[in-house]
Structure 1
Amino acid sequence: FLYGQLYLVLSGLQSALLIKAHHQNMKSLETALASQSFLQLGLLTGLPMVMELGLEKGFRAALSDFILMQLQVASVFFTFSLGTKAHYYGRTILHGGAKYRPTGRKFVVFHASFTENYQLYSRSHFVKAFELIFLLIIYHLFRKSDGKFHVMVTYSTWFMAMTWLFAPFLFNPAGFAWHKIVDDWSDWNRWMMNQGGIGVQPEKSWESWWNAENAHLRYSVLSSRIIEVLLCLRFFVYQYGLVYHLKISHDNKNFLVYLLSWVVIISIVGLVKVYASS
């Protein structure tokens, strides 16, 4: 949904649609988004649970339980665990290799180090959360709609991105204690710097973890690999649209502007590689 909205913004379709709707005094788009935003609040999706509890305990007790669940940030935990299920469900459909995956129930029991949280949730939550935040920022910068329209479209996505990014630390006991933060930082640096290889467990080295995390690509069929590549091409498509909206292009639509952006990206990656190897 967010990628579709960003496409409308970067391609100029949203601006054209809003201008046409303004001239013709059409409010159907705002009305549809208002209805959708009401659904995204979770009020209607939580209605069956409230009705079930109401029939069992009475509607006053059901309402009290529902409010108590929100105070216990149950919606945050549910959104986070849903991200875990969605990530591995999609990977299994595309590449196979079904097996048990932890949904995050244990991180509310004892303190988990940042290294462990990174291993468990980096690919499934952190990377996707940063991607969503980046897309939301780009959408906010180049949108042509008013503030109410923008809030109705994006607030649920902001909630999901923040949940995926911070829920492991929110539910992690002593996660914000300073001595734990220092220990976790030192442990994570050691884990990142350790060399991987044969016999080195993913818990001991970032390199071994990375190889294990991407092992499904080595054993996947060709069609699944092609689909994976096509999905990754979305970044280049939006890079193409984003470059021509920057002020440095001076509204120049020449393809050389896009090639120049690639020169900048390659230069930055080269500098990072030089810094990492030094």
Structure 2
Amino acid sequence: MSRIAARFEKLKAENRKAFVAYVMAGDPDEETARQVVCGLPGAGVDIIEVGLPFTDPMADGPTIQLAGQRALEGGMTLDGTLDTVRALRKSDDETPVVMMGYYNPIYSRGVETFLEQAKDAGVDGLIVVDLPPEEDEELCLPALEAEIDFIRLATPTTDDARLPKVLQNTSGFVYYVSITGITGAGAADASKVAPEVARIKSATDLPVIVGFGIKTPEAARDISAVADGCVVGSAIVERIGKGESVDDVLAYVRSLADGAHSA
């Protein structure tokens, strides 16, 4: 059983929802980012998303874009991102790690080589936002063969005709984007999210995790109450970008995790 599947089994047995946190590798610098990542499990995070910085993050809002720029300016690379995961694995071999980013750095490395390195580092899943289902042969299917989950995003514009295509090779969980547009924009509305989550769950047995627009413990609770859990990224990254200490960032993450777990 994969770490992701095992974590959802554990959460189900405990009757709890999942809290997923996103941080950018190398932001604001390599060492601080590693301290944050390694502190996330202790702050109540069930699954960690580690961002792979890229020069043209077309799906990301200003907060994540700036984080990627800071990371790249500080010298963060694909290898450095994998080293961040390795650092976590020295103290934690159970918390699932999902690498989130864009295809170009992976393509440049070579899919087979990348998957071998990712598996060796301890990566459990991938979210690659610029590879649609029509391109599954590029990375999705090879990743599944390498026993790395390929997590797909569904959005408010994913209609019933498109949904089966989105789900066909998805594994680990489905990431439902609660609002249209880029990361960090707007606020998630549980009353609007609930029917969409129900629609997706009627078509798959995979857990559905909701992201975008969640900034408070109350929002984490409300969204998790209508889904299998929630993701927070921009709100955490914003605090990192403002120069908050690792302890303060992790305290904020803990408040969000407690909110999600209270659903």
Question: Same fold judged by TM-score > 0.5?
Answer: no
Q: Quick one: higher RCO (CA 8 Å, sep 6+), 1 or 2? A: 2
The structure that is helix-richer by fraction is: 1
TM-score in terms of structure 2 length: 0.26
The structure that is strand-richer by fraction is: 2
Q: Give the number of the structure whose alpha-carbon radius of gyration is greater.
A: 1
TM-score in terms of structure 1 length: 0.25
